[in-house]
Homo-oligomer: A and B are copies of this chain.
Amino acid sequence: MNKMNIAVIGTGRMGSVHVRNLVRKIPEANLVAICDIRLEVAQALAEELGIPRVVADYHELLADPSITAVLIATSTDTHWFIVRDAAQAGKHIFCEKPLALDLPSIDVALAAVDAAGVKLQVGFNRRFDPAFRRVHDLVASGAIGRPCILHIISRDPEPPSVEYARASGGMYLDMTIHDFDMARFQVGEVDEVYAMGSVLVAPWLAEAGDVDTDVVTLRFANGALGVIDNSRQAVYGYDQRLEVFCSAGTAQAENEAVDTVVVGDRSGYHAALPPRFFMQRYPETYVNEVREFIACVQEDRTPSVTGRDGRLSVVLGYAALKSYRENRPVKLSEIAAL
C-alpha cells in the first residue's frame, strides 16, 4: 500500500480528533506534519503521538512538495483563504465545515480549487455514519420506491451560551446546516424552504436574535417533502434520528443507546438513553470520511462531499434564515445562483 503524505492545519478540538485518527486508525495515511498558530498546542500533540514535524505557519507546509494533501481544521473564518492557498499550492484538501459563513468567500475558495484541479472534500461527517449511509443506499437503490417524505430529528442536549450563538451565525447556519446536507444526501436537491423558530428553553438566545427550537420544511426538486426539527435542549441526550418514507416502504435510523440494558420494575420498562455528545455518537464517521478522502485522491475519484455540497448547505442556511425572518417560503434561487 502506498501511504499518502498528509498534514493537518489546526489542532484544536476537531483538528486533534483528526490527528489522533490519522495516527491510530488510518494506516493508509502518513501524517508528516501538523500546524497551529498556537505552536505549543501542536507541539504537545506531536510529542504525545510521535509526529515528526510541527509548524506555526501553514505556508511552510504548502511549500513542501512531499506533502500531497492537507486537512484544514482551523477556525471557520480562516477556512476559505487556507483552502484557496492550498489549492494554489496544488494540495488536495479536506476542509472542515462550513467552508465559510459568507457565500462570496466560499466562491473565491471554490474558484481556486477548480482552477487548480485539486480534490476538495468538505467535512460533513454524518454522511459517513453507517446507519444513515445504509438508509441512503437503500433509498438510492430504488428498492423501496421513490422518496416521499423525509424527517430529520436533530436535537442537542444543552443550549449554548449567547456568545457562542452570536459567533456561530445562529441556529440555522450552525446546527440545521448539518441537516440540510443530510437532506440533500438522502433525497436530493432542494427548491424551497420554509423555516419556523421559537425561543422556548434558552431565553438568553433571544438577545442574540437567535432561536432554540426550529422546524424547517423542504420542498425537493423531485417533488418529495421534508421536515427538519431541531432543538437546543433534549434533556435525554443527543437525539439524532431520520426517516425516509418512500412509495414502497420506509427506512428509519433510530437513536443509538449507551447500552442495551432494559430494567423492568413496578413502574415500567426502563432503557438507556442515547449518547450525550456528538463525539460519542459519531466517532467512526471522522475516520471514515478521511479514509474516503484519501481513497479519492489515490484513485483519482471525486469525493462524495464536494465543495458544491459545502456551498449549498450554506445557501440553505441563508434561505432558512430569510424565511424565518420574513415568515414565508423562500426559494434557494433567491439566495444565490445554484
Q: Among the interface residues A153, A263, A329, which one has the most CB atoms of the partner chain B within 10 A? A: A263
Q: Among the interface residues A198, A245, A269, which one has the most CB atoms of the partner chain B within 10 A? A: A269
A9 within 8 A of B: no
A261 within 8 A of B: yes
A289 within 8 A of B: no
From A117-125, A178-186, A251-259, the one touching the partner chain is: A251-259
Tallying the copies of this chain within the complex gives: 4
Partner of A235, one of B201, B214, B248: B248
Q: What per-residue 1/0 map shows which CB atoms of A115-159 lie under 8 Å from chain B?
A: 000000000000000110011001000001110110101010000
From A30-38, A55-63, A77-85, A216-224, the one touching the partner chain is: A216-224
Residues A247 and B270 in contact, CB atoms below 8 Å apart: no
Provide the residues of chain B in CB contact with A237, threshold 8 Å.
264
Residues of A bordering B, CB below 8 Å: 24, 50, 130-131, 134-135, 138, 144-146, 148-149, 151, 153, 155, 194, 196-201, 213-215, 217, 219, 223-227, 229, 231, 233-237, 239, 245, 247-273, 327-329
A–B pairs, 27, beta carbons within 8 Å: A135-B261, A146-B200, A148-B200, A149-B213, A149-B231, A194-B217, A194-B329, A196-B219, A198-B223, A199-B223, A200-B223, A217-B217, A217-B227, A234-B250, A235-B247, A235-B248, A235-B249, A239-B250, A248-B266, A251-B261, A256-B260, A257-B269, A267-B270, A268-B273, A269-B270, A269-B273, A270-B271
